[in-house]
Amino acid sequence: MSKKSTELLDPGNLNSEPKRFAFDYSYWSHDGFKVRNDGYCEPADKNYVDQEKIFSDLGQVLLDNAWLGYNCCLFAYGQTGSGKSYSVFGYGQNKGIVPVACERLFDRISEKRANADKSREEEYQVFVSMLEIYNEQIRDLLNPNSFKLKGGLKVRLHASKGFYVESLKTFPVKSYNDINSRINEGTRNRTIASTNMNATSSRAHTIVTINFVQKGKNDAGQNMTKTSIINLVDLAGSERVDSTGATGDRLKEGAAINLSLTSLGNVIKSLADVGAGKKGVMIPYRDSKLTMLLKNALGGNSKTIMIAAISPADINYDETLSTLRYEPKASRRRLSLMKVHREAYKRTERRECSSMKQLEGKGGLGETQGEVTMQGVPEEGEDEDEVEEMKKELEEQLRQNEEEMNAMKKSWEQRLKEVQTAQEEELEKERKKREDMKVTPHFWNLNEDPALTGMIIHFVKPGVTKIGSNKAASVPDILLNGLNIQPEHGVVSNRNNVVSIKPCLPAKILVNGKALTEKMELHHNDRVMYGSKHLYVFHHPQDLAKNPDKEKKEESPTYNSAQEEIVANSGFDMTKGSDKSQDDLLLQQELVELMPHVNEANAMSDELKKRIRFEIVLISPQSQGLSHGRTQVSVVMKNLSNENEFVWDRNKFLNRKYLMEEMYQDFVNGDKDWDVDQNKDPFWEPPETEVLVGVVHIFLQSLSYLIEIEEFLGIVDYRGGQQGLLKVDIVPCTQNGDLLPEEDFVDDPKELLNRAVNFKISIAHARGLPSRIKKSFCKYQTYLDKKPRKTKAIEGTRNPDYKYEAIVSSKIVTEKLLSYLENETLVIYVWGTQNDVAVENAGGAGLVAQRKAAFLSNAGWNEDERSKMMIELNTERKRVARLEKKLKRVQEFVTSETEVGWLNAEKLNIILKSGYKFKAVAMVVAAAEKTKQAAKNGKKTTSKACSLS
């Protein structure tokens, strides 16, 4: 990164030309800093850009425009963990754009008030709201009751205000501390909701809106209002499954999940086209809730800044490239100052409210002021339930308008006082909670998003603390909801500051990564997971006081470290050390990321009674048909009804998992249509989907000596287990498929160079395939093939006869082809489809027994080594047999043709004892044949003609 330029180099091709991108600013904030005593990260070299510099370049522009009355918008875009929230909100002393801008906004307000001209009656008002868009549903983060509304809050279109969120609470604030308190409140509500509702926080958009209102008299003595709306948007993580390879799935991730990001990109592109002078371009604001709410910010009535946060890690190259390409090159657009006359706005509100009251009195609504409304009596063919629902919406809208009118009657000071009174009570509760945390054992939450960690506190007071869901007979002391949470989930007892926990079986509780089946004492910093989603750390002040050095020696638990121990206790190697390669560490990272998703998918399957189990497996390169490469993390989906198995790669599984979340959310919300038909069910895979039964590796070394391969080889699956046997023959032949004459055989592979070769490949049959396989076929591709070859599919038997033959020919043997024959393998893939037959008493014990498949994944290589050794032995055996046959021919020739006289038995023994290679023997045979022919013709040969040199 340098000034306005960012260069990206492909780690897979370091010699390639780097991709270059131009921006207004390019900041490097990854390393090159030093930490001051107060915790602030300041530059240690010229490359590092600190938070103060970023605010100076970006935040100050927003602040200045807000004072001028312009709308302002700040987007933060990029993959999860790339630093979006750090840039916008910051951490500790490294405050981001938002807190610094708010602090300076109130500093300037204080300064203005101190120096105000009383005759101008200046007044400054600041309001804050906070909402979240997840799966195209809007939730008010400052009003937890909004999470209970089916479908979320509604977006309405107002004649003067434009798009707005109905019933969204907006709170007046008088300082940045008030704003920060509201943001923390919203973050806490967001954490609880995302945990209970299975909504992944990194896949939700968060919008903090600050309304800055300046009131006063203009130079003509008129009362004027200058309003600036500041939207601070933390977009969802930009990881899109469709961009990372889940293209082979019959189902695509729900449009609602990615709709907002896609729509935002389309709007920005359309705006750029308009700015470039293109005519007739429609701006698709209505395609998503996000773009509707940000229409003013995007449409030119705003100063808009977009931050694209990227990761420097080479493993994130694809997503980094996607982020850099997404960053728009939108044209500069003229900003229009928003000045709204206060009295005109009030008159508009009164007129709308009065109209609605009159219409309500008439028992229905007609078409008024250009708005299409509903009659009191349903029209023909109209559903009465829909009419009733629309009536309720109308009543709610009327109530909201009345509330707005009542709020307008109150002065700014009255509204602020009401909010402050309620806020003081909350602050007192928060202060008391902080004091209690110092002396009372408690649990604090861990979340994949660091901003949501530590937001939820559950105290363990002396006596018994019951844990359960809201479906319990009585309200539990610790109320949890969501995946795998039972009405009575567990009991925590605190007796004389000795805290223990006991599960209410079959409830799922993990302590330090291990399943809990009986009562256990808890200690400071123990990690506890309830169900499949609620992850906590236990804090025990008295336990800590006994060993104060423990806190200094041990790092505080994190979400990643807690997940690592869960993965390790599932049978995977998570040890660290210098002996671990980069691929090993990457594999561990992928396991940590995937394990929570797999646990949640299993929990959703259980609650929805889908009889599907998911298990992580490691697929070795050899099991993929490769001689080398990285081990891949995949997920086995097993149908417990018929024992069918499907191996999904990581991207396909995540694609399905997000669809499962949508289905589960509909189930939780009581939607009658949550259980969709099989073709749309993310838990279902058609039995006709082709699955890889296993692979067969055939070492081709024998062919470099033109020695045939005749093998009955094991079909090895991803676990390293044998799934049957495959009969394969590869025979050197003529172009017509006939056997080669013996004189064409070679003793040194290099003799094949520049020759033509032909091989007949025969796949006769397979034996002992798994009983679940209904139809099977084989597929392979040689070095000489441009596309794969395949056998015919055989159905209805575990012992299919493929009766396949093909000839592979090369007009000339090159160095590469010879190296392929000497060192590589031919991989034959056995594919099949499965039976759709229910199995009685089918269960998941098979997958449980295979939990340690990670350690068995190399078993496939052991099978390959055995096969390779057998083929090498077979090759040597055939070479020796061929040599013995040649020697026997020589001896027979010498014995029968002694009349030639130049070669006798004594000379032959000298040749053999001298250690000449087999090529020399072949030369002897050739020379003897030549001498014999000459003798028959009556000619005399010289000794030179028979020389071995």
Which residues are documented as binding site for ATP?
A: 78-85
Q: Which token pair is 344?
A: 């005109």
Euclidean distance between CA atoms 601 and 614, whole angstroms: 7
List own/partner pairs for 59-62 with CB under 8 A and 24 or more apart: 59/97, 59/100, 59/101, 61/303, 61/305, 62/97, 62/101, 62/230, 62/303, 62/305
Identify the CA nearest to 125 among candidates 170, 89, 167. Answer: 170
Length of the chain: 949
Percent helix, strand, coil in the chain, to 5, is: 40, 25, 35
Q: Which token pair is 882?
A: 């061929």
Euclidean distance between CA atoms 646 and 640, whole angstroms: 12
Q: CA end-to-end span of the chain, whole Å?
A: 68
Q: Which token pair is 576?
A: 């660290």
Q: Which token pair is 892?
A: 């027979």
List of residues 6+ apart from 855 with CB closer than 8 A: 571, 573
Identify the CA nearest to 588 among candidates 569, 568, 614, 558. Answer: 568
Euclidean distance between CA atoms 230 and 297, whole angstroms: 9
Identify the CA nearest to 725 among candidates 671, 684, 674, 763. Answer: 763
Q: Which token pair is 502?
A: 């006991």
- Rg, Å, the chain Cα set: 38
Contact 49, 27 (CB under 8 A): yes
Helix (H) or strand (E) holding 340: strand 339-340
> Computed from CA positions of residues 625, 627, 631, 632, in that sequence, does the dihedral angle turn out positive or negative?
negative
Render the burial of 890-904: b for 16+ CB within 10 Å, e for the rest.
beebbeeeeebeebe
List of residues 6+ apart from 943 with CB closer than 8 A: 902
Contact 452, 201 (CB under 8 A): yes
Task: For tokens 């009543």, name the residue.
Answer: 395
Contact 549, 616 (CB under 8 A): no
Q: Per the annotation, where are the binding residues? A: 78-85
> Computed from CA positions of residues 535, 320, 262, 334, in that sequence, does the dihedral angle turn out positive or negative?
positive
- Give residue 512's Cα distance to chain centre: 25
Contact 771, 737 (CB under 8 A): no
C-alpha pair distances (Å), 851 with each of 335, 484, 569, 618, 854: 60, 21, 10, 10, 8
Euclidean distance between CA atoms 942 and 334, whole angstroms: 104
Euclidean distance between CA atoms 681 and 663, whole angstroms: 8
Task: For tokens 């807690």, name the residue.
Answer: 562
Euclidean distance between CA atoms 173 and 186, whole angstroms: 15
